[in-house]
Chain A
Amino acid sequence: MVLISKQDILNYSKGLAVILLILVIWEVAALVIQNNYILPTLGAIFAVLLHPFAPVLGGESLIDNMLVSLKEVLLGFFCAAAFAIPIGLLVGWSTEARAYFNPVIQILRPVPPIAWMPFAIAWFGIGIHSVVFIIIMGAFFPILINTVDGVQGVRRRWTEVAMMLHATQFEQVRTVVVPGALPVIWTGLRVSFGVAWMCVVAAEMLPGTSAGLGFLIMYAYNLGQLQVIGAGMIIIGLIGLCADTIFRAGRSRFFSWQGRE
């Protein structure tokens, strides 16, 4: 388990100090500029943050919007993983599969998720499905690429040991390739979650969305209430931080052997 030591507290304080410095600079700048449309004051932003259950701009609360976005991201993320990990295992393991799939993967990979937005509406209609589709398009490739890399990075010797002990192809994949590739796959999941979370803001600009942090940001922009946008951004950042912490904890719990084999 992850224990918090004195060293950890010291490290966290260093990070906290930088954040506080940025907040001070922000507040000074906001007071100088005196224009809520350009730089809202921290006071205004915290006024929104400190009442997370109150309706925002006549709509749902900050927490409600956050939960909607979180639901969309989790759905998209897990769907992407469910597709990307098996395909990645196949493409990483088999040179045949690689020959077939690699070109199309390399072509689709650089396409930004936002570019899929017109198709999202056309294929999935308005509503949560099109949003989740965009998120899947963003989350899919980091997981896929990392799974392929993870499989290819599995030491040849390990699979030889398994072969030597007469493991079937399936057993080799199940008992050697998957556990061996798992640390790299985990990194892929971690990166992918970050991308998915970034995508949700863009995805919620699709027609038919009436809730979520991305929607709230657009809504606030149309009303010139930038302090709500600031609050939304902070929430987005904090959730990203939480998710990353979970991933890192998972790494040290399950993959402490990585890099020491």
Chain B
Amino acid sequence: MEPVLTLNTITKTFRDSEQNCPALAGVSIDAYPREILCIMGPSGCGKSTLLRIIDGLEQADAGTIHIAPGTMAGSLSVAMVFQDPALFPWLSIYENIVYGLRLAAQKVPEDEVNERATALLALTHLDSFAHSYPHQLSGGMQQRVAVARALAVTPQVLLMDEPFSALDTFTRRELEDEVIRIRDGMKTTIIMVTHNPEEAVYIADRIIIFSERPAVVSEVLPVDLPHPRDPAGPEFIRIRELVTRRVLGKPDP
């Protein structure tokens, strides 16, 4: 199977006025269609930077990105959900979701806009909030809207940068289930940065572990458990502990 996204030796150094801060030192990753990838690693090692490079918000110093063609008209290859929902407070939930579709880059006709919006509102269980405003919603619901907004442009790859870290455990669990549902329903590839090993093991097909800065991929751990996964199950716990040790750089017992 052809990867939908190929990163080849991505290198990035942040140049300050005084010093250089190397973040990524040649990261190579392949992402396959309909895969959920979780990226983990020590704090501040460039994981967010990598997502921003994929998304075009930053430029890599070296290396290539290749995204497989075959996107439908009126959609982007890549869309991103940030750690904070960053909804536009002056727009309603509906307006926020369809924001991307109204831009010149997408050129989606109005009736299709409505269709997609209705479908996404249903998918994220936000039907009754279509005309509410962001400040009227809880953090978890706002994050759902952010996900819907990103999905509205039917991206091939959905990037998520610690999207649930600011939420409580229960809401997290709900939203993690939703991520899986989205992948199943919309057949999107999802790359998520997370600091939570349980979350990673709960949803990922593969877990990519970054080294300390300057980061390279130090290990790729496949998670072959079937869905729905039981966080209390022994295999789950084993993989979770393994992941934790790897991230911390601790040796196996």
Contacts and interface: CB of A to CB of B under 8 A. Distances in A.
B89 A261 contact: yes
Contact of A165 (B82, B84, B89, B103): B103
B57 interface: yes
Contacts of A158: 86, 88
B227 to A, nearest CB: 29
Contacts of A182: 90
A165 B88 contact: no
Interface in B216-242: none
**What interface size band does chain B fall in?**
20 to 34
Contact of B79 (A164, A167, A255, A261): A164
B153 interface: yes
Interface string A164-176: 1111100100011
A212 to B, nearest CB: 38
Contacts of B73: none
* Interface size range of chain A in the complex: 20 to 34
Looking at chain A's contact residues, is the secondary structure mostly helix, strand, loop, or mixed? Answer: helix
Contacts of A256: 135
A179 B92 CA distance: 13
A235 to B, nearest CB: 36
A166 B103 contact: yes
A29 interface: no
Nearest to B100: A165
Contacts of A157: 82, 84, 86
B28 to A, nearest CB: 23
Contacts of B79: 164-165
B1 interface: no
A174 B156 CA distance: 27
Name the residue among B76, B82, B86 with the largest chain A CB count within 10 angstroms.
Answer: B86
B57 A260 contact: no
Interface in A222-261: 255-258, 260-261
B55 interface: yes
B32 interface: no
Given A163-B56, A164-B55, A257 B89 contact: yes
Contact of A163 (B57, B89, B104, B153): B57
A176 B82 contact: no
